[in-house]
Structure 1
Amino acid sequence: MDVRGLRALVVLVVVVGCLVVPIPAASAVVADGGGETEQLTLQEEEDEPEADDEGLQLDDADEIHIDIYLYENGSATFVVDYRFPINDENESEEEWQAFRDDLESNPGEYLESEEEDWTDVATDGENATDREMNLSNFTVSVDESSAPRDLGHVEFTFEWSSFSHVELNRIEAGDALSGFTLMGDTTLQVFWPESYSAYDIDPDSDDRGEGSVFWDGDGTEFTDDQPRIVLIENSEATDEPTETEEGPAMPWLAVVGALALLAALAVVGWWLRYRREPDPGVESRSEPPADAGETPQEGPPPELLSNEERVLHLLEQRGGRVKQQEVVSELDWTEAKTSQVVSGLRENGEVEVFRIGRENVLALPTEDGEDSEE
């Protein structure tokens, strides 16, 4: 074989070898215009993550503030404020604006989600209290504030019926939140009517105002029986008399002189009545002495009686019926102590309690067991 034939044989072997050797399935060879090749890994292309275009959600809120306003009929108004920081280093202003636009365009979706979450909480409350509850009037609003920092607000408001247990002048709240978890970025503040005062709050809180209590999720963990708030209605008998309009300056010297003259006349009258000799021809007009047959009221001294016995003793003295406020005044007790003692007597069936107007009235039970309310 000559040289030319040998070269042709070598070229043929090389071509056949290239056709037989397979190209890996995970790679592709692409030739560019300069003759160089670029290898692309197909598996890497398939594993590239997709871009996340969901944007802000309610769960992304930096803080959640829950305010509860209690009413005398047992219902409550909830205000849930989701707060988002804006104008920070992460350029969250654009994200917040997109989130706000979406919420204002589709408020129904957000309301439905929030209502479902709180309905689950209310269902747990019904099971724990045996009270029938209902959530209604859900609304949502969007706002912004600049002090003390720039924040975006998404605020949900709704009504919760039978949230509290009401009995006469007593409101007990918190049992409807049985099992409620206060997260670290969440706060809870409860407000009550001005006509009520807090008698018991559990767990206690150092951040208490005149008519509210505040818990921070960072330092508070509720147990199964918490939170618990017991309120007692304030007495109207302690109202101070209204001040009259100011008149001209009082002539104090004339007043002092008039009082001195009245005192002198009283002394003279007393001397004339009791110091002069009685007329023998005139029968004595002095009042007869008290009936000797009357004896002072029997019974042990008050300090030997229990609190319950003192209330029952007072009822017997008053003919079987007395206003609760009179018990406060007569026994010099606080309204909270009086309410606690009366509640115990009422539970034991030793007294009956009913309302006349805005006042509680205590009465000894009737023989036939019927209510003594007029």
Structure 2
Amino acid sequence: MAPRVSAVLLALLFVAFPAASAATPVAAAPSEPAAQPTAAQELASENTTFQVQLHPDGDARWRVVERFDLTDENDTRAFERLGETFVAGNTEENALVEFQTASDGAASATGRDMELRDINREYVVDDGQGRLVLSFNWTNFAAVSGSQLRLEDAFYTQSGTWLTNLAAGQSLVISPPQGYVLTNSPQNSYIDNGDLRIDGSPTTRFERGDLDIVYDGGRNPNSTGTGTGTDQGPIQDGGFPLWGGLGILLVLGVVAALLYMNESDEFPAVGGSTTDSDDGDTPSAPASTTAGGESADEIDVELLSDEERVERLLTQNGGRMKQARIVKETGWSNAKVSQLLSSMDEDDRIDKLRIGRENLISFPDEDVTEIED
């Protein structure tokens, strides 16, 4: 059972956004015995979800949903009274000022004009559960660059970050616009029905750069509007787009055909091989080899461009590799590989997917839902 609270959403935000609420004075402990808590103060908050629905223009629709278990009629009546004062917006349960402080701090840090619009408060009682819901539009929340949406600096302020932690029972859920693909995600996050999710714990802390979240809409130029994110691309839970599967089958078919056509050249038999001519009597000449023992028909990697070398490595490794392995295989510096892969990603020759502290490199539309260690 979660701890009992009196100022429901406001107390919640003191936990989630200490930087924003640090200026709020704390009353001194009373010298007389404290009054007995009211029924509303005895309600127990079970969990809270911060839902962020992104839009292609960078705006985001926020919904802060706090849930309560209502065990009997007394709990239900107490919650209804709490809900009425919450909807009225004239009690300490009104946490909008905390988000406004966060918005002002992020606007100052990023230089983007930000504003909270279309504010709505509601409460719901349904099947033994009560919910307080605060929703609003946060303009210019994400940085827009071409077809990319980047969220990292949206959590910045001049003095650090306004979202410093998620407590146990709190979750941050981010939904992309329809057709957008997640290309970079933070540690301790996972995909839940197409949405990026981070569940809080006593040790969940955030610093600058920890919430570097990037979506790319250029993979599906025909997509329009917003959605829940269930069609966002290869990394998702519970399904894979049909077009993605067909694309992979086509790529695999082409690769298999090329390997079959070049099998005799790429993998010559030791000591040469013979094939029957029309009359079956004429042996073929043994395969020529270089001084190093390699077939003369093999590709000289020194003649390939850097991009072609990366693509050749990907083909040899099933279409996907970790960036660190590419550095090891090529012998290039980390900086050169990082710059090269970023350029190839912009040209849609490869895809880069951030997994924890590593990058997974793959051909476009490669199935990376089952990532090997």
Bin the TM-score by the shorter chain.
Answer: 0.3 to 0.5
Larger Rg: 1
The structure with the greater share of residues assigned to helix is 1
TM-score, with normalisation over the residues of structure 1? Answer: 0.48
Which of structures 1 and 2 has the larger relative contact order (alpha carbons within 8 angstroms, sep 6+)? Answer: 2
TM-score, with normalisation over the residues of structure 2? Answer: 0.48
